[in-house]
Amino acid sequence: MLKFLVLFALAAASRADIAEEDDVLVLKKSNFEEALKAHPNILVEFYAPWCGHCKALAPEYAKAAGILKAEGSDIRLAKVDATEESELAQEYGVRGYPTIKFFKGGEKESPKEYSAGRQADDIVSWLKKRTGPAATTLTEVTQAESLIADNEVTVIGFFKDAESDGAKAFLKAAEAVDDIPFGITSDDALFSKFELSKDGVVLFKKFDEGRNTFDGEISKENLLTFIKGNQLPLVIEFTEQTAPKIFGGDIKSHILMFVPKAASDFQDKMDQFKKAAEGFKGKILFIFIDSDLEDNQRILEFFGLKKEECPAIRLITLEDEMTKYKPDSEDITADNIISFCTLFVEGKLKPHLMSQDIPEDWDKNPVKVLVGKNFEEVAFDPAKNVFVEFYAPWCGHCKQLAPIWDKLGEKYKDSDNIVVAKMDSTANEIEAVKVHSFPTLKFFPAGDDRKVIDYNGERTLEGFTKFLESGGKEGGAPAGEEDEEEEDDLTDVDDQQDEDDSDGEEAHDEL
């Protein structure tokens, strides 16, 4: 008995070691497994103290933790300082901040990635969907009214027979959507309250038209298409909170309006933009970005824009190849935007490729400076072997590489057939090479076949020299077969580099 009491006391003391800050558990390697055992459902944020995105998330994360705790839920929220607990971060594949994972049933292996928004309501809704039934059974009008009132978007299925094929298809759709609460009812009073005379599905929302009624054959696929087309506002502002919904959604074609929110004609521009959006629901996501905000300047740079050039419209596809499009007219009217989007949907637009002007001294230094306008002529010169670094001015890995690249240029400055060059890929784009991360190193060997070879060797002077002397064989690979070396991702347009990182590499925030 004494032995049992001692063990019990030790276990209790161990649990007591899990500190809390604003209702959020503070986890370390020493108490991580104990926390998983003590709490069957736990959401864990791996963060960095300096990370801007983590700082923005913190109050909403704490608010969500407080809501669940006040409800008496067994779901808990926790956080891990990944810069201090590097072993834990490495174990769970943390490469950016914040990384948020859900551990269910005390299971340590294969946690589920958090995939919803970064507001408290989004977090709570996602967790409840992960731990409860796919759809809440509604038997009273007040239940439905509360569900609608408490959430930005709610989907309710009305089925006279809860075992019907339509009801089963509805529940399958509910299981497939993480970030929206679903309800299901067979109650006549609810049919009457929400004006349905037969089986149906209604999406309720706190914006635009307020509700959308599904019209068509009820199937999982059709319902998911209906939800995807109506769950977001016609026009959504890009912010820290909406970014996960924008980039994590199914709609990968985005049209962006860059406009100063403080401009006198802001509302007029918004009205025109919103009017154009009505005809492209479910096809193109309409987003506006406050071009005056300092936090958005990296995005403007990504599109080759300056604040003084706004208002402006750009379109981008976020598929395997990110492709940008620019309208012919700069006038922001509904007609112009509709015409632009129609041409895009019909596949009649040509990509917009940015290019700086050719510098007068582009070939003065050992490392030649390439821009979009002179790339083809230099890189595909049949008499030259051209080695190019595609970089970003803000990329920490590129800054580390710069002195080595300069030494390589110096080494081959008098060569008759080897050219060492670089191109700022935040300001220049070319059809022949799609750059997804920085730095990207590619070799264009002499000849008429326009061959491109990726460099996958060591980023050292010796490694580069062996590569060039071997004609692109030592450390090379066919274009497209890139290695796993850590790089700065081009899609993380709002990243903040940590210049004080002790190991010299840039940990980065995820957008």
Q: Which of 27, 51, 201, 490 is catalytic?
A: 51
> Cis (ω within 30 of 0) for the bond into 181?
no
- The answer to whether 441 and 454 are in contact (CB under 8 A) is yes
Q: Which of 18, 36, 54, 300 is catalytic?
A: 54
- The answer to whether 283 and 345 are in contact (CB under 8 A) is yes
Is 310 marked active-site?
no
Mean pLDDT, consecutive 10-residue stretches, the chain (511 aa), reads 39 57 93 90 94 92 95 94 92 90 83 86 87 91 95 95 95 88 96 95 95 94 91 90 79 93 94 94 92 89 86 88 86 95 92 88 96 94 96 90 96 95 91 85 94 92 94 68 45 38 34 29
Per-residue pLDDT, 126: 87
Element (H, E) at 419: strand 418-424
Alpha helices in 353-444 (DSSP H): 375-379, 396-411
The SS3 of residue 501 is: coil
Is 398 marked active-site?
yes
Residue 434 Rama label (left phi>0; alpha psi -120 to 50; beta): beta
Per-residue pLDDT, 503: 32
Q: Which of 64, 341, 398, 511 is catalytic?
A: 398
For helices 165-176 and 220-230, give the axis angle rounded to 10 degrees: 50
Is 54 marked active-site?
yes
Q: Which of 155, 395, 441, 453 is catalytic?
A: 395
Largest CA distance in the chain: 88
* Distance in angstroms (rounded) separating the CA atoms of residues 343 and 43: 44
Q: Report the predicted TM-score, pTM, of the whole model to 2 decimal places.
A: 0.61
The SS3 of residue 299 is: helix
Is 395 marked active-site?
yes
* Distance in angstroms (rounded) separating the CA atoms of residues 423 and 360: 15
